[in-house]
Chains A and B, each alone.
Chain A
């Protein structure tokens, strides 16, 4: 929408549009100059007439009213109540673009978050303040995994408050209902804030949704001292909306038509995670993105991977085999795991067991490839044991029910069950004292 006769508007300024029938909509200034302002209307321009439409520049950027009352509430993509309840009473109004964290004040993340999902807790441990994305593909079970993590995530062994901020970006109505129901039925909604932007909502609203969600996450973490897990799904829809708006603004397109500032824009969102010295709370981010055509070199996963601290990759082969969660551990990594596990944090054997599982599964993959050529008969006894360990890993450790919440002891116990199939001499990543204590195989 282009407005004439504008002299004092600012970039990103919020605009209120009133139709001649009295309906009010919101928009934001995209461009200004030559006495004109280009405004993107959040609710879309359908039904707006040239005559009779009034525009009010609100003199401020978009803000989100925040307070502890937001917990247990469901909002739309712009932060308006979507649960039939009144507007929350605001403690503060915060700019949705957030304030950058002073790098000097950042504290290195070192504390464990238990998700109840074995493969994540055991091998790709999530640490408070980390940003760990899930790279998925179209039709895979990333939404089920996201909902499971939202329901189960917790900080173990402390009385510190834990909250989940869940932003569903450009999702279908059925998916939105699934997320809502899933949190309601598990009783996790009371410690969660849910933002739902539907696929048929205007593109500009999709740009706002993660910002609104992260604003709330920052408030809960740094004002109220809570440990917050922000789950953003699906960031691919966010990037698509960014491309759509960029094209409408006639900007020079970059890779695959995405704007050249896609990296900066994604970083603006992803960098809103972390811990701050002197404050007790933390914002941990788990953005989820579906890779178009499962292509990990696509600009969205590619740029995301540069910014975040590792990635959890879901594999099409495992998904087709009916394994949930279909995490391809060989392509996945949590860069901060080493600092968040071990003696005094989780369990002293945690890191070593994780490394040994990586080693065993990687050998199992090689043996599987070899068996396809020479057949099982051509394998050595140790190879066969690795083959068994690989199968066991997928069925006993990786695979779990979407409502199964495994604590860390159970996860590590399952890991030791798998390692029991291997001869003791093969456990080269684990210290002797831990083998003595936990190894269940024949010594």
Chain B
């Protein structure tokens, strides 16, 4: 084979290879562009999913923050209101404790004793606080529920703000008619009224 024909063959092979390579590169380029194009939509889906999930997370976080802040604020309000209620009750009790000289108080005690006799029978023992003992003795001696009664006033004083505690002589039944226990049983209703006043719902 001559040198020329060898060169021609080499050129032919080279140009063939060149065109093959170019076509491969072209096809790779096309593939890459296609992949890029298809990736775009996949990426867009992923991007949308990430954005969507972040939005959801942000929404959840917002709900959590608002929820817990509202609740915390409300709970603090409840605590403040409760301390105001306690203060009001303390002052009211102090005032009631000083009211045993009033005429109405004697009427109240008379009614309490009558109540005790009607519920426990005519033979009862009454306990009260030290300050009320004289008044209770006086009312008992006036036979407030008629004759044939045996009301004894105990020297065992109660630490209460007022009212009486009556016990049947056999000690099996007790009627707690102290102001303390009455306040306690009416406390839910009184609390409601106080809260309405504090919140301006009632004047």
Contacts and interface: CB of A to CB of B under 8 A. Distances in A.
Contacts of A89: 81, 188, 191-192, 195
A392 interface: no
B130 interface: no
A90 B174 contact: no
Which of the four size classes fits the interface of chain A?
A: 20 to 34
Interface in A53-91: 54, 56, 65, 69, 72, 85-87, 89-91
9 contacts: A54-B174, A69-B78, A85-B78, A87-B191, A89-B192, A186-B60, A186-B63, A189-B67, A190-B70
Interface in A91-115: 91, 93
B75 interface: yes
B64 interface: yes
A187 interface: yes
Contacts of B85: 86
A191 B70 CA distance: 11
A48 interface: no
Interface in B68-126: 68, 70-71, 74-75, 78-79, 81-82, 85
Interface in A1-24: 5
Interface residues of B, number: 24
A372 interface: no
Nearest to B194: A89
B63 A187 contact: yes
A223 interface: no
Contacts of A69: 78
A190 B78 CA distance: 14
Contacts of B67: 186-191
A40 to B, nearest CB: 22
Nearest to B189: A90
Nearest to B185: A58
Given A93-B188, A185-B64, A86 B78 contact: yes
A189 B64 CA distance: 9
A125 interface: no
Contacts of B68: 184, 187, 189-190
